[in-house]
């Protein structure tokens, strides 16, 4: 009997270890219906995006800090400048100590017109700490769609230099391990523009970081 108890106890310990080490995230209770938490850890695929300077933006650039990804393009007439201005407003509210540093990364899905230096000038107009990156469509499309986002080029104008790009307005949160952690879905505001409720997003990010 004693031997059976020891075996049963050992099995329980193994079970608790397996449950405790399951690759999932802590549940965060939120009043924000736009928050979608990933139920399992999803490492991002290997990538190397262009940014101003000689060093590319890669998976290693995500390690040790929280990252907010937002896709768009510099010629965007409404969603991008509105969202970047909103991100600048709430940026000081995000915890930025050594444990919860948060970076904002704008991914241009219009590499034909948006070059690295131009992207840097664009995002720095809103906040000097923001990062602008881009790549080829061959790398951008699978990366963006894996994050649950999407974009498409709309042919308009008399030349190839004048066209619009339809794109998601949601914001994606990446954790310090470089894993897809959550999405903050966009909704239509009173002005008819897709946007993310920034104040609710800040509350949720702080809760996520506290439970990470």
Pick the CATH number of 24-211 from 2.60.40.1120, 3.40.30.10, 3.30.565.10, 3.60.21.10: 3.40.30.10
CB 147 within 8 A of CB 105: no
Q: Is the model more confident about 191 or about 23?
A: 191
**Is 22 a residue whose pLDDT tops 50?**
no
pLDDT attached to residue 29: 56
Distance CA 103, CA 116 (A): 18
* DSSP letter, residue 11: H
Mean pLDDT of 93-110: 87
For the chain, what's the residue count?
212
pLDDT digits (tens, 9 = 90+) for 148-172: 999 998 875 555 678 999 999 999 9
What secondary structure does DSSP assign to 41-59, as a single string? Answer: EEEPPP-EEB-SSSS-EEG
Neighbours of 70 (CB within 10 A): 25
Cβ atoms of 113 and 157 within 8 Å: the answer is: no
99 vs 208, higher pLDDT: 208
The pLDDT of residue 21 is 34
What are the residues whose beta carbons fall under 8 Å from the beta carbon of 152, sequence distance 6 or more? 165, 166, 167
Share of the chain above pLDDT 70, in %: 81
Which strand (E) or helix (H) includes residue 87? helix 79-90
Residue 124 pLDDT > 80: yes
pLDDT band for position 179 (cuts 50, 70, 90):
very high
Half-sphere exposure for 93 (CA within 13 Å, toward CB): 14
Model confidence band, residue 11 (pLDDT cutoffs 50, 70, 90): very low
Q: Is 49 left (phi over 0), alpha (psi -120 to 50) or beta?
A: beta
- Beta 66-72 vs 151-155: how paired, if at all? unpaired
Judge if pTM exceeds 0.75: yes
Q: What is the pLDDT of residue 98?
A: 63
Question: 178 near 62, Cβ under 8 Å?
Answer: yes
Domains of the chain: which residue ranges? 24-211
Highest mean pLDDT among 2-16, 41-55, 93-107, 151-165: 41-55
Q: Given the DSSP bridges, would you call strands 171-174 and 163-167 parallel, antiparallel or unpaired? A: unpaired
Burial of 185: CB neighbours in 10 Å, binned 0-12, 13-18, 19+: middle
- Dump pLDDT digits (tens) for 45-94: 999 999 998 789 999 999 999 999 999 999 999 999 999 999 999 999 98
């Amino acid at each position: 009997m004693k031997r059976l108890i020891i075996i049963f106890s050992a099995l329980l310990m193994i079970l608790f270890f397996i449950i405790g080490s399951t690759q999932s995230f802590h549940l965060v209770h939120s009043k924000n219906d736009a928050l979608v938490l990933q139920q399992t850890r999803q490492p991002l695929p290997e990538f190397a995006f262009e940014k101003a300077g000689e060093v590319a933006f890669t998976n290693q650039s995500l390690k040790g800090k929280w990252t907010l990804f937002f896709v768009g393009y510099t010629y965007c007439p409404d969603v991008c400048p509105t969202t970047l201005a909103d991100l600048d407003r709430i940026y000081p509210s995000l915890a930025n100590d050594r444990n919860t540093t948060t970076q904002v990364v704008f991914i241009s899905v219009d590499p034909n017109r948006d070059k690295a230096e131009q992207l840097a000038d664009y995002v720095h107009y809103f906040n000097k700490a923001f990062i602008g990156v881009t790549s080829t469509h061959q790398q951008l499309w699978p990366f963006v769609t894996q994050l649950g986002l999407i974009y498409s080029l709309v042919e308009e104008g008399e030349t190839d230099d004048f066209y619009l790009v339809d794109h998601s307005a949601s914001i994606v949160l990446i954790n310090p391990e470089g894993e897809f952690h959550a999405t903050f879905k966009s909704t239509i505001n009173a002005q008819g523009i897709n946007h993310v409720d920034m104040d609710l997003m800040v509350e949720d990010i702080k809760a996520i970081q506290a439970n990470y």
